[in-house]
Chain A
Amino acid sequence: MIRALFLTGLLVLPGMAVAQILLTPEEIQQTLSHGPWPPQLPPDASNRASGRPDAVALGRAMFSAPVLSANGQMACASCHDPGQHFTDGLPRAEGATRLDRNTPSLFNLPLHRWFGWAGDSDNLWAQSLLPILNADEMAQTPEGLKSTLQASPLAEPFETVFGPLNRQTPTAVLVNTGKALAAYQETLITGRTAFDRFRDALQAGDLARAGRYPAAAQRGLKTFLGRGRCNVCHSGPAFTNGEFHDAGLSYFITETRVDSGRHGGLAALLRSPFTLDSAHSDDPRRSGAWAVRRVRRTHADFGTFRVPGLRGAAHTAPYMHNGSLPDLAAVVRHYNGIDPERLHTDGEAILAPIGLSEEDIADLVFFLETLSNAR
């Protein structure tokens, strides 16, 4: 169907600019795999608060409540600023001190299997309670959190969702706080974009509509799927395979300190009392627990980071786990001139210099921007 229509890819409709599809049938098939959007998302079975409007409202209030931190000064929103696409715009986050990593945006989280740059958690509620306890972030203890909550206006909505506070252990209060925060964050899904309209028109075989997607974006998409091989890792509707790779960034934090990436993330995961395989999960079937049970540790984990999704990325500069690249053009230039020597010797052989011209670079950036509605 698409194949047949492709032959008539050049359409001239009365009163309309020339609508042209530059993709081959194979590229069209690949393009379809990056949708549809938004995805159908079932509630998180491990979180009984997932999808409950009262829990979402509680989580939203908690997200911006500095009262939850030990010194009453810091909230999730201090770094994940809703006005800045849930980032802070800084290369690396500022907590009590400068943290080692860039603050990621919080969109499209339900599409992930692992959370954080290194995948320290296998679920969103467990990831959401880490900053509450981290001494350089909100610096709470479970006991402190419980008494703070009891004395705050959040006590009432919390008890509506999770029952009386005085009958919950401090650990249960902590986990339930994570679950309310997760219920809220799950609702943060990026909107439909110019790319989605293009993709859906291709799927419907409506080439006139698809042809409205700018030629520069189509050329950039061709590079993304072809020479750049970006879709090897940035695959699927969220443009991430959800796994860990070495994209050739430095993993030195200072001259003497390194970020071990997934290596350390796996160690943290396997130590965590809050995985999908734990009694804190509300899913009697433990459906997602296969991943933490079966995940493999290898030398190649060292210095790998989770592949970020690319939807909305135009709004979340600077980029990479250490925020070292200031804009999307810098990211594309990084891949274009990647130094294979800097990739791990025991790592995978995927990335290599691409040889893009200035025009190709501009097209690829243009394409990436169409994933953010920035064009």
Chain B
Amino acid sequence: MIRRTVVLLCLAAPPGAMACDPDPAALPLTPEQSGAPQAFLRPDPLRLSEPFGMELLVCDAGPVSRVEVDAHMPAHQHGMNYVPRVRVQADGQYIVSDMVFHMPGHWRVTVAVHGATATHHYAADLYAE
């Protein structure tokens, strides 16, 4: 299901876009506003209440000054007890670490990509068991 969506999105990328080659298992991030560059998330295997990491790929975003990642549980009115760390791995590629989902259920990951002229906000839904 996820696999298929990713393939379609890649085909739809405008010609001339920066090489953007997400892992087939990556999760497309939903932008808050249309026109935002495509972005993908690839979380490491999740273990409840244990730290995990994610790879973040932002396609063709131009110069990015800062990327922020956070998560919360919409049903429970609370977020994570830790501030995740975001490191640049390569152009448009980021490594997110120190994510901890300490309760089972639906978590919403939010990503803010601060570019030269605009900030793009994204979200993705993950489930912890």
Q: Which A positions have Cβ atoms within 8 angstroms of B?
A: 29, 33, 231-233, 235-236, 241-244, 290-291, 294-296, 298, 300, 347-350
Contacts and interface: CB of A to CB of B under 8 A. Distances in A.
A349 B77 contact: yes
Contacts of B80: 296
A159 B83 CA distance: 41
A93 B102 CA distance: 30
Contacts of A294: 82-85, 98
A295 B82 contact: yes
A231 B103 CA distance: 9
B89 interface: no
A241 B48 contact: yes
A232 B78 contact: no
Given A232-B105, A242-B49, A296 B81 contact: yes
B98 A348 contact: no
B83 A296 contact: yes
Contacts of B129: 29, 33
B51 interface: yes
Contacts of A231: 104
B84 A232 contact: no
Interface in B41-59: 48-49, 51
B97 interface: yes
Chain A interface main SS type: loop
A12 B126 CA distance: 42
Nearest to A244: B81
A290 B77 contact: no
Nearest to A29: B129
B76 interface: yes
Contacts of B103: 232-233, 235, 241
B82 A235 contact: no
Given A241-B48, A241-B103, A294-B98, A348 B76 contact: yes
Given A33-B129, A241-B49, A295-B81, 8 more contacts: A33-B48, A233-B103, A235-B103, A242-B49, A290-B82, A290-B85, A298-B79, A348-B76
A262 to B, nearest CB: 9
Interface of B: 48-49, 51, 73, 75-85, 97-98, 102-105, 129
Contacts of A350: 76
A298 B80 CA distance: 10
Q: Which 6 A-B pairs have the closest CB atoms?
A: A348-B78, A294-B82, A241-B49, A243-B102, A294-B98, A348-B76
A10 B83 CA distance: 48
Nearest to A243: B102
A235 B76 CA distance: 16
Contacts of A232: 103-105
A147 B105 CA distance: 53
A46 to B, nearest CB: 16
A233 B48 CA distance: 11
A350 B78 CA distance: 10
20 contacts: A29-B129, A231-B104, A232-B104, A233-B103, A235-B48, A236-B49, A241-B48, A241-B102, A242-B102, A243-B49, A290-B97, A290-B98, A294-B85, A294-B98, A295-B81, A296-B82, A300-B78, A348-B73, A349-B76, A349-B77
Contacts of A244: 81
A290 B49 contact: no
Q: Which residue, B73, B78, B83, has most C-beta atoms of chain A within 10 A? A: B78
A244 B102 CA distance: 10
A243 B81 contact: yes
B108 to A, nearest CB: 15
Contacts of B98: 290, 294
Contacts of B73: 348
A339 to B, nearest CB: 18
Contact of A236 (B48, B77, B82): B48
Nearest to A119: B81
A348 B51 CA distance: 21
A291 B82 contact: yes
A259 to B, nearest CB: 19
A232 B75 CA distance: 12
A233 B79 CA distance: 14
A241 B49 CA distance: 6
Nearest to B80: A296
Nearest to A291: B82
